[in-house]
Amino acid sequence: MAPQVSRRGLLGGGVAAAGVAGAFVTGRATADPEAVLEQASARSASYAFRGAHQAGIVTPAQDRLHFAALDVTSDSRDDLIDLLQRWTAAAERMTKGQGAGEIGPVEGSLDLPPDDTGEAIGLPASGLTITFGFGPGLFRDAEGRDRFGLADRQPEALQTLPHFPADNLDPARSYGDLCIQACADDPQVAVHAVRNLVRLGFGTASVRWSQLGFGRTSSTSTTQDTPRNLFGFKDGTANVKAEEEAALGEHVWVGPDDDPRGDWLAGGSYLVARRINMTIEVWDRQPLGEQERFVGRTKGTGAPLSGGEEFSEPDFEMPGRGGPIIPADAHVRLVHPDRHGGARMLRRGYNFVDGSDALGGLNAGLFFIAYVRDPRTGFIPVQNAMAKSDALMEYLKTTGSALFAVPPGVQPGEWVGQSLFA
């Protein structure tokens, strides 16, 4: 009855199918078993961990995120390499829907801690992708000292991001030597992945901050509809999509000659992470027309205020009442590629709600993730333009920030980041 489910420790047949049955129940009538199987098989979807690029960048954005930034606590290069090797093995297993370790959550000795924590027993792969990145601190410590003999391989572009206007960064939500981006269609699967990888790092690396997200705010494929952020607007309409191979090469993947010190990063990318709180209670009191003028698009279809449909090019010259119909400080105008040498990003962010703040407002917003070929051209100028003039900024407060170099995909027999240590 159950579809193919390979996670270790699945002891009872049909668990996966039964586990998703709830979603198919209308009133009290249980749904068509075939439908249950269809959904279970969807959750069994899995993406290859190995390939030319790491998964989790152009693979279609899943619904849920658990992101963790870690600091390396060991001084040993060997410890670091060992961790990356163990991460590679565990990540490859988990993205297949298996346990983090070879033994599994319940099959081992009763006298030893299991090598998997067990909360994903019976859950399918759920489209899990795990993407690893290296922060500037891995190359040099705060005093500029070479930590692991990697300093001469630090790419020019891999520096702590500059301070932007209106940044209000919490160091406890920023920076990090390593990052893990786990995306899946089931949050329990994403959480399980991060937890087990963090566990493998015990003694070598510890979590600096982590963030959960939901309802991906950008699609990464033309097969996906554009989702909405917590302002209620479609977000990421202009995203570079997986189907745009040429644009990916131009805007997302690091080229072999981009940086002589960073040749190990060819085929990789840079991951910009920004935790952007939204003052949504204040936003919700703005008239619809104001909201649309801030963004420069209609709230319904996402079309530019100059007309057309979602994917129509905005006409920034079209006159409106007392100025252009897309205002001078509209978001869509300030971040448009035409103003930034054609720069485009592959965004892969998520909405977040972390409970409420001390004033009873939702502690909520956008956990922005963008992949760019070079943050110096692909992100920093765009963010500066936005932070200085964008009408939306009144409703945004950036509380976390980090930059990571995401090494290329892992080839058979290799471990993640191996080219950096070659």
Q: How do beta strands 323-324 and 129-134 pair? A: unpaired
Closer of 146 and 281 to a copy of itself (Cβ): 281
Closer of 222 and 411 to a copy of itself (Cβ): 222
Closer of 299 and 339 to a copy of itself (Cβ): 299
Closer of 202 and 411 to a copy of itself (Cβ): 202
Instruction: Indicate the SS3 state at residue 65.
Output: strand
Closer of 185 and 244 to a copy of itself (Cβ): 185
Residue 377 beta carbon to a copy of itself: minimum distance, rounded to whole angstroms: 28
- Which residues, other chains included, contact 386 with Cβ-Cβ below 8 Å and sequence gap of 6+? 331, 334, 335, 392, 393
Q: How many CB atoms lie within 10 A of CB 227?
A: 18
Closer of 245 and 338 to a copy of itself (Cβ): 245
- Locate tokens 């920004």: which residue? 274
Closer of 50 and 339 to a copy of itself (Cβ): 50
- Which residues, other chains included, contact 216 with Cβ-Cβ below 8 Å and sequence gap of 6+? 61, 62, 63, 65, 227, 348, 349, 350
Closer of 132 and 270 to a copy of itself (Cβ): 132
Q: How many CB atoms lie within 10 A of CB 121?
A: 19
Closest residue by Cα to residue 356 from 261, 290, 280, 244: 280
Residue 9 beta carbon to a copy of itself: minimum distance, rounded to whole angstroms: 6
Closer of 150 and 212 to a copy of itself (Cβ): 212
Residue 232 beta carbon to a copy of itself: minimum distance, rounded to whole angstroms: 2
In DSSP notation, 259-284 reads -GGGGGGTT-EEEEEEEEEE-HHHHT
Closest residue by Cα to residue 391 from 349, 332, 323: 332
Note whether 351 and 217 are within 8 A (CB).
Answer: yes
Residue 421 beta carbon to a copy of itself: minimum distance, rounded to whole angstroms: 25
- Locate tokens 């932007």: which residue? 164
Residue 32 beta carbon to a copy of itself: minimum distance, rounded to whole angstroms: 8
Structure-block tokens of residue 288: 């619809």
Residue 80 beta carbon to a copy of itself: minimum distance, rounded to whole angstroms: 17
DSSP state of 137: G
Closer of 153 and 195 to a copy of itself (Cβ): 195
Residue 355 beta carbon to a copy of itself: minimum distance, rounded to whole angstroms: 5
Residue 117 beta carbon to a copy of itself: minimum distance, rounded to whole angstroms: 5
Structure-block tokens of residue 398: 């950036």
- Locate tokens 């068509």: which residue? 32
- Which residues, other chains included, contact 278 with Cβ-Cβ below 8 Å and sequence gap of 6+? 229, 230, 231, 364, 365, 366, 395, 396
Residue 157 beta carbon to a copy of itself: minimum distance, rounded to whole angstroms: 28
Residue 92 beta carbon to a copy of itself: minimum distance, rounded to whole angstroms: 16
- Which residues, other chains included, contact 246 with Cβ-Cβ below 8 Å and sequence gap of 6+? none
Structure-block tokens of residue 211: 């963030």
CA-CA-CA-CA torsion sign (158, 401, 69, 171) = positive
Structure-block tokens of residue 119: 């909360």
- Helix extents (H) in 99-186: none
